[in-house]
Amino acid sequence: MHYMANIRKLRRSIPLNGRGGMGKHGSSAARRQALLLACTLVVTLPAVAATVPPGEKVAQGSNCFSCHAVSHKVVGPAFAAVAKRFAHQPGAKAMLIHAVKYGHVGTWGDIPMPPHPDLTNEQLNEVVSWVLSISPAAEKTAAAPAKTYTYTVNGKKVALDFPVYKPGTKKVTPTVFRGYELYNSYCFRCHGEDAMGSEYAPDLRTVIKNGMTVQQMTQIAMTGIKAKGMPSWAGFFSPKDLNAIYQYIAGRTYHLVPQGIPPE
Ligand code: HEC
Ligand code: HEC
């Protein structure tokens, strides 16, 4: 069941890796990345099988964790918040099964959840039962105040809420480096190599300069803008991957990260 979903994901990744080609830099790193992605999808399955409830396994095998987390809002609401809201409502289960199967919008905001026509009724029942079984206490609301990292570039100060470099060096953090690898494997063919923009899609440096947050970028990347040719990456990337991509592009935006392979 979720095994099929993983095979589907692998299939989806093949044209992305093969057809688009790699950036002119770091192609072996990118290929290594793609292979790693492919391997972990398959290899981690037996390890989790013993302890994870069936509904959570359905969620892992589908695309749920691209947009949801148990404890906090990502693109969609925290699963703990869903459990809290519908805990004692008769008929909630059937209503939520319907929402996941056919897609939904309007209860939590104006971002739509896509439909999941590939899940069987049994899988839908399992995954929604699991969501409803989550303790409402698992929700975390108080976000820690963000730390600020200030850099001076060409006499101008840039303040970010994440570090671009390892402390005391000009070498990028592992997160920024991973963002470079992912961006130049998957985003570059439309948004331009090294986040330089292209004729196919907007220059994401300008988009960040104009104020797009990591939450907003994650939402657009997971939802996609299908009518305009921007794919949905739900089921392929985690929010952590999108965070890394965002940090890399922000580094490029403020001239903190050079073109090509960043110093590691
Ligand atoms: C592309 C992002 C995305 C994906 C993928 C996604 N969701 Fe959602 N989900 C959302 C959003 C956004 C909402 C809020 C919809 C609304 O306001 O009605 C939501 C709402 C929900 C709700 C509450 C529905 C309601 O009526 O209140 C449940 C339950 C849920 N999702 C479960 C899942 C499960 C299970 C999966 C995987 C099979 C999944 N979601 C995949 C974005 C997503
Ligand atoms: C197949 C081509 C293609 C790929 C690959 C692609 N995008 Fe896009 N993307 C687009 C297009 C086209 C648009 C503009 C859509 C529009 O006009 O509304 C876009 C828009 C966006 C936007 C919104 C920009 C704005 O102006 O608000 C973001 C954010 C974005 N893409 C991020 C990404 C990320 C991150 C990746 C890699 C994971 C990626 N895209 C991969 C084609 C692509």
Contacts within 8 Å (CB) and 24+ apart, 212-215: 214/242, 214/243, 214/246, 214/247
Select from 3.40.50.300, 1.10.760.10, 3.40.50.1000, 3.40.30.10 the CATH code of 2-30+42-138: 1.10.760.10
Please give the structure tokens belonging to residue 187.
């985003």
Q: Give the orientation angle of helix 2-18 with respect to helix 54-61, to 10 degrees.
A: 20
Selection from 149, 162, 166 nearest residue 245 by Cα = 162
Identify the residue whose C-alpha is closest to ligand 2 atom 43.
230
**Would you list the domain boundaries of the chain?**
2-30+42-138, 149-253
DSSP lists the bridge partners of residue 230 as 225
pTM (predicted TM-score):
0.83
Q: How confident is the model at residue 87 (pLDDT cuts 50, 70, 90)?
A: confident
Shortest-distance Cα residue to atom 39 of ligand 2: 187
CB of 189 closer than 6 A to ligand 1? no
- Matching fold, domains 2-30+42-138 and 149-253: yes
User: Is the separation of the CB atoms in 101 and 117 below 8 Å?
Assistant: yes
Confidence of residue 33 (pLDDT cuts 50, 70, 90): low
- Among 230, 240, 243, the mutation site with the greatest number of ligand 2 atoms within 8 A of its Cβ is 230
C-alpha of residue 258 to centroid of ligand 1, in Å: 38
Residue 66 Cβ inside 6 Å of ligand 1? The answer reads: yes
- State whether the beta carbon of 191 lies less than 6 angstroms from ligand 2: yes
In angstroms, rounded to a whole number, what is the distance separating the alpha carbons of residues 183 and 177? 10
DSSP state of 87: T
**pLDDT of amino acid 76:** 97
Measured CA to CA, the distance from residue 44 to residue 58 in angstroms comes to 14
Whether domain 149-253 has CATH 3.40.50.1700: the reply is no
Predicted local confidence at residue 115, as pLDDT: 97
State the average pLDDT over residues 169-193.
97
Give the residue-averaged pLDDT of 237-261: 97
Which residue in 159, 164, 134 sits closest to 148, CA to CA?
159
Cα pseudo-dihedral 241, 260, 29, 31, rounded to 10: 80
Cβ of residue 19 lying under 6 Å from some atom of ligand 2:
no
